[in-house]
């Protein structure tokens, strides 16, 4: 009976050893707080990857700006809305101020835009032409400012001047009181390039590439729960490290 008990105890110990050796590898629990210092040094250790992503992003957006993005040119013209009578009363000025917004809507109307398209023989419809326009009325003024932005500097100037001429006539036909006065026609000197420069696209691309890679690295670091160093074992398991096997990489 004693031999049987001894053999049974040995089998039990062997089974327990097998159970211990077949346990899953220990994994750390996710920390409750994020160690910013640890994340900083982790990103610093991947500086080559971040630098490569920065250069790649700058090159991609720089190529997009150079080969695919057309430059934009902007010009403006303006008209003055008031009575042309020799004697102007206060009621005339108040009426002009109240109708200035109506004048701006007339200039943006389908009738005026289609007449501009026919006069300049433009290959677009009135909706596409309307997207090129910006008509504003500065506060406390009787002035209507017409701004045209497109990829052709000469075309932007021609559209602005055509809008002024046709718009003034259309306002007179609709309102019928007096014809607006043209303050400024668009000239070659008034055309300015407003497209974003290459340097700005390079900076945007570099920042976008760096932020994207840093975000992926931080996400990967937070999702990785494996134990890699002696400090990880002490921090997350609270166990002392008795010994470690050094790793030597042959070059």
Per-residue pLDDT tens digits for 139-154:
767 788 999 999 899 9
Angle, alpha carbons 241-244-248 (nearest 5°): 150
Radius of gyration of the chain (CA): 37
CB atoms within 10 A of CB 77: 25
> Which two three-digit tokens encode residue 71?
């430059």
3-state DSSP assignment of residue 209: helix
Segments of the chain with pLDDT less than 50: 1-3, 10-26, 84-95, 251
Cα–Cα distance for residue pair 62/3, rounded to 1 Å: 84
pTM over 0.75, yes/no: no
Measured CA to CA, the distance from residue 142 to residue 165 in angstroms comes to 18
Token pair 């490569």: residue: 52
Would you call 4 helix, strand, or coil by DSSP?
helix
pLDDT for res 18: 42
20 in helix, strand or coil? helix
Query: For position 14, what pLDDT does the model report?
Result: 47
User: CA quadruple 240, 25, 27, 49: dihedral positive or negative?
Assistant: positive
């Amino acid at each position: 009976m004693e031999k049987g008990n001894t053999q049974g105890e040995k089998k039990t110990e062997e089974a327990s050893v097998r159970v211990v050796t077949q346990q899953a590898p220990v994994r750390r629990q996710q920390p409750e707080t994020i160690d910013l210092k640890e994340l900083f040094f982790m990103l610093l250790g991947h500086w080559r990857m971040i630098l490569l992503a920065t250069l790649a992003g700058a090159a991609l957006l720089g190529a997009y700006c150079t080969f695919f993005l057309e430059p934009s040119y902007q010009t403006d013209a303006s008209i003055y809305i008031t009575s042309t009578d020799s004697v102007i009363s206060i009621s005339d000025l108040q009426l002009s101020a109240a109708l200035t917004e109506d004048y701006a809507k007339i200039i943006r109307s389908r009738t005026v835009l289609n007449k501009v398209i026919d006069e300049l023989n433009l290959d677009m419809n009135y909706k596409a032409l309307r997207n090129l326009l910006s008509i504003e009325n500065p506060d406390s003024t009787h002035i209507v400012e017409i701004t045209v932005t497109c990829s052709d500097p000469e075309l932007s100037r021609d559209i602005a001047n055509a809008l002024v001429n046709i718009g003034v006539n259309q306002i007179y036909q609709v309102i019928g009181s007096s014809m607006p006065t043209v303050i400024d026609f668009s000239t070659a000197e008034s055309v300015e390039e407003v497209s974003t420069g290459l340097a700005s696209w390079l900076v945007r691309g570099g920042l976008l590439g760096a932020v994207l890679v840093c975000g992926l690295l931080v996400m990967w670091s937070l999702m990785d729960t494996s134990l890699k160093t002696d400090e990880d074992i002490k921090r997350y398991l609270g166990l002392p490290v008795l010994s470690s096997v050094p790793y030597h990489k042959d070059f």
